[in-house]
Amino acid sequence: MARTINKAWHEKHRMPKNASLEEKIEWHTDHAKHCNCRDSKSHLLKLKALLRNKETRQNG
Ligand SMILES: [Zn+2]
């Protein structure tokens, strides 16, 4: 599948420089719906795994 970039969406949705894990997940979830310039879906899996690790550490 060819990579395409939704420039208009990126103009409106800038990733904050020091985005939290939660903000990144939100951004990539939205990104995957609107744009195809990078592999957000596999990136999301990694971010969600990181979030799970973080929560496990906080609780345990
Ligand atoms: Zn994009």
Domain that holds residue 47: 22-59
In a domain, 28, yes or no: yes
- The environment of the single-atom ion ligand 1, i.e. residues with CB closer than 5 A, is 35, 37
Distance (angstroms) between ligand 1 centre and the Cα of 28 equals 9
Q: How many helices and strands (H and E) does the chain possess?
A: 3, 0
In a domain, 14, yes or no: no
Tell me whether residue 30 is in a domain: yes
Residue 34 lies in a domain: yes
Q: Is residue 29 part of a domain?
A: yes
Cα distances (angstroms) measured from residue 25 to each of 18, 19, 50: 13, 10, 10
Residue 26 alpha carbon to ligand 1 centre in Å: 14
Number of domains in the chain: 1
Instruction: Look up tokens 């719906």; give the residue.
Output: 33
Q: pTM for this structure?
A: 0.82
In a domain, 51, yes or no: yes
- For position 55, what pLDDT does the model report? 82
**Does the residue 10 lie in any domain?**
no
Q: Each residue of 3-57: pLDDT tens digit?
A: 899 999 999 999 999 999 999 999 999 999 999 998 888 999 999 999 999 888 7
